[in-house]
Structure 1
């Protein structure tokens, strides 16, 4: 037997007490006897809340998703809610996706809330994450939970927490809830359900959510334009199949072809390597169907239906995948045009984005005379903008990782409404004798060409987490003075909240919350951001370059990748 750290062994032994069921105890004993490596990874830390809630591999242990870690979260959250709203009848909405154990874990979470005499509205079957965000406000809930691991591999699951405003938890509230959770022992969890407090929901939320999506995502597209648009859609075995075809049909889009082999929800995601619309491979079957059907646009969503990938035809008739920044540019510009045409721009609107997304968004937004706001990675920060600036109306918000929200009726990224919006743009542009691809080129012509590239380096387990921290430490302590031959002129360190101007030696404070992110700006206008993923064992490098035209931009990105050695 391999050496086991005594601290790890002590933590594992606590899971051999009568608090835990016999199956859990048996699995722990097996790990102690035969698999010390998995044992260490299961117990070396507690699962933490990241940019998209809490995600982890399913299994036994403090660093795994299971009934005990989620039960403890839920008990701590119940205690916090009772302290926060002492005189109110508490209400919670709960949804879940297609992943293994999602339905069972959603019931466990519901049971714990109900045991604490908190009213639970539990969706009777899987639903998109944006519908949960909508349901929190629609049902006047104090909180919402969705069981999902978004686009992570099949062995993962997760737990996202939403507050009264329909947005995910942000500091300092998340820290207060975590403190409440950490103060508990597993024996403190109330698992015995009080079924009187659990109410199943479906159509009573489905109908108003689909109507709200139609209202926010439709822009006076003619029936003829809709009839002439050929759409291919894939849910990648996820939850979007429950809502997107319904919304598109209600909107009047008849030429919809669904990738049937990927239409059935399945937590194994059997037809793809990864159910991530950021990965070109994930849309392979949809692209093949598009060629067969001579489709104009391909749309694929991730398992919990908050992100979407888009492919459109270029002037040569070839299907081209848009990256998240390009999709955000198109949607934002179109929305701003629509608001301007309707005479609704009066200085009281804003568009939200993130520090790792394309700088081009700011140029576009400000050209329309609209306020631009930027936050950390994750839509919880855009939701916080809505809450912090009630005098301003959100037109739209996006980030480079294929997420977009239209308006503020959902307070998280929403692939349902963003899919409808994308089809509206495609239909209108085709009716004008143009296309989404040509529309993007027109925007580039006006604002300059920007190109972005994301490099993700996978670093798994405890050693991987340590390696990620070491990489960031090296960049922080020994920052590059030039990248790909261009001098670094500014460094933003979001951990210290300092922006350093290397041209004049001055420093200024960064006004958004602290985060383990570094951004380097170079003399030629390039921007390179480095951060650890908040949901996966990865360190991410976000590269943005720009120029008057497209020529040489890919070469510039390649030179940056080579110089930083981040292949």
Structure 2
């Protein structure tokens, strides 16, 4: 196969003495035995997406390795000196259970220290939300976590956090990337100053757990806690270091842990994907729930920022909730608790994203609080807290199984969210209700919203080109009708234009640009198209809604909404 010149130029750079002998040998081996892999490894630089820099591990500028992470850390070190002149600089680093995470974390620490920056490095794997907490607790200017979240085992990643505890956002992200891109690999300082690297563990752990319990506990009686039967799985990830101890200190004693998934393991041997969004990931947990007659199942992804939840329906069967449903439940619970405590006075807000359920806006309106909606990714919710200091942040979530309780952690936090959903479950059980009945009642009070996600995987360079072309086609030839319903509004977040397709009127949207299209139909349905920022996928988010006059009619109305979703999928040829 013919390899393009810019790829050959990149390959030749990696054969220079700047790179160690092992790396050079791996490149030569790829040149002779796997030209396609060579092309995939070198055709572009690994980029920052919605979740930072994430990719397959290996050699090359489009792979996660000591050089790509070293270059990013060198650029970040240079930028920190510009952003915080004449200040003593401090950074904190955490890592998850993935292969090479511990080694890569030490490499990042080495580069920071070689640049004269004080480094706090967790001695072993920890949840991502603990990194966000530790950053503020230790008074650091930035933090790094080595994780690829729920991606397959061959992936790793690098997420950058700023001094507020949230992930980097404009203008810092662009300025940091610009600084990184100006560097050559030969400029990376790898020679560590070990005197500047301090290992951290127990003190931060205890402070993090104490903060979690303070933020996510709401006066649940000990009797109610004792009567809640919980199944928990860490899916071989980092949450095992925090959630069992959080349960214990919060007074939840009846916790059954899935033992086969307790030990951290980057191969994730018991699941196809360590992603609580995938029903298969919770198979063992659901089996244990049936065996122990559990009320609730909670499973977290490898870096412990997302959670999947299953509860019993009205027939006593365990069913999986989707991310929008858990977000509705937790938001409604927080709003009720804040109202009960007399803490709502019109100066509060909840956060959501453009691809999450519109029902959150209905909930916020009902309780007299503002709902701020941002782009996909919790960095935008964290930015809301920073941008609106005059408002109190109650909580926020997104459809991809993430939730944030208060602002002690400025990222999605499965530790606090796990405790919060169990607080809800314990209280409603003590009152003779259930989590499922609470969800149904919310639909009666605020409208029955039903969501569905279609993810189309398109791997590699060819897949990326195909995804880009799909977005171009949808922009150039917007759908006028979906499932017999006229499209009344098209929001294009790349051009920042919202266009009424019936009148031709256009208005500018005040939001950062992003490669997202959202169609709204005349019956209130919403269909969003968005390439993933962290996986080789294009995602279609479908939301439909109608009124539900009583819980007794739930099944009948749900069937109507399911049929509408099915027809939209067919009409848009997404199946």
**TM-score, L = length of structure 1:** 0.99
Partner of residue 227, structure 2: 228
Please report how far the alpha carbon of residue 6 of structure 1 lies from its aligned counterpart in structure 2 after TM superposition: 2.7
Partner of residue 553, structure 1: 561
SS in 1 for 2:210: helix
1:72 maps to 2:71: yes
Please report how far the alpha carbon of residue 336 of structure 1 lies from its aligned counterpart in structure 2 after TM superposition: 0.2
Please report how far the alpha carbon of residue 3 of structure 1 lies from its aligned counterpart in structure 2 after TM superposition: 2.5
Partner of residue 469, structure 2: 470
Matches within 5 A, 1:321-470: 321-470=320-469
Distance 2:146 2:20 in 1: 22
SS in 1 for 2:277: coil
Distance 2:159 2:509 in 1: 27
Partner of residue 123, structure 1: 122
Partner of residue 3, structure 1: 2
Distance 2:2 2:356 in 1: 45
Distance 1:333 1:420 in 2: 15
Distance 1:372 1:94 in 2: 32
The answer on whether the counterparts of 1:324 and 1:402 sit within 8 Å (CA) in structure 2 is yes
Distance 2:270 2:461 in 1: 30
Partner of residue 494, structure 2: 495
Distance 2:370 2:116 in 1: 44
Partner of residue 54, structure 2: 55
Partner of residue 158, structure 2: 159
Please report how far the alpha carbon of residue 74 of structure 1 lies from its aligned counterpart in structure 2 after TM superposition: 0.2
Q: Deviations over 1:393-429 (max 9, x none)?
A: 1100000000000000000000000000010000001
Please report how far the alpha carbon of residue 510 of structure 1 lies from its aligned counterpart in structure 2 after TM superposition: 0.6
**TM-score, L = length of structure 2:** 0.98
Distance 2:251 2:478 in 1: 54
Partner of residue 289, structure 1: 288
SS in 2 for 1:544: strand
Partner of residue 134, structure 1: 133
SS in 1 for 2:173: helix
Partner of residue 563, structure 1: 571
Please report how far the alpha carbon of residue 177 of structure 1 lies from its aligned counterpart in structure 2 after TM superposition: 0.4
Distance 1:350 1:29 in 2: 55
Please report how far the alpha carbon of residue 5 of structure 1 lies from its aligned counterpart in structure 2 after TM superposition: 2.2
The answer on whether the counterparts of 1:149 and 1:158 sit within 8 Å (CA) in structure 2 is yes
Distance 1:169 1:366 in 2: 30
Partner of residue 41, structure 1: 40
Please report how far the alpha carbon of residue 107 of structure 1 lies from its aligned counterpart in structure 2 after TM superposition: 0.1
Aligned residue pair count: 566
Which has the larger displacement, 420-429 or 548-557?
548-557
Please report how far the alpha carbon of residue 340 of structure 1 lies from its aligned counterpart in structure 2 after TM superposition: 0.3
Q: Deviations over 1:301-359 (max 9, x none)?
A: 00000000000001111001000000000000000000000000011110000000000
Which has the larger displacement, 168-177 or 109-118?
168-177
Partner of residue 218, structure 1: 217
Q: Deviations over 1:214-266 (max 9, x none)?
A: 00110100111000000000000000000000001111101000000000000
The answer on whether the counterparts of 1:3 and 1:36 sit within 8 Å (CA) in structure 2 is no
Distance 2:395 2:82 in 1: 34
Matches within 5 A, 1:517-532: 517-532=516-531
Please report how far the alpha carbon of residue 204 of structure 1 lies from its aligned counterpart in structure 2 after TM superposition: 1.4
Please report how far the alpha carbon of residue 205 of structure 1 lies from its aligned counterpart in structure 2 after TM superposition: 0.7
Partner of residue 87, structure 2: 88
Uncovered stretches (5+) of structure 2, i.e. residues with no partner = 549-556
Distance 1:406 1:337 in 2: 14
Partner of residue 99, structure 1: 98
Partner of residue 554, structure 2: none
Please report how far the alpha carbon of residue 72 of structure 1 lies from its aligned counterpart in structure 2 after TM superposition: 0.1
Distance 2:217 2:344 in 1: 18
CA RMSD of aligned residues (A): 0.6
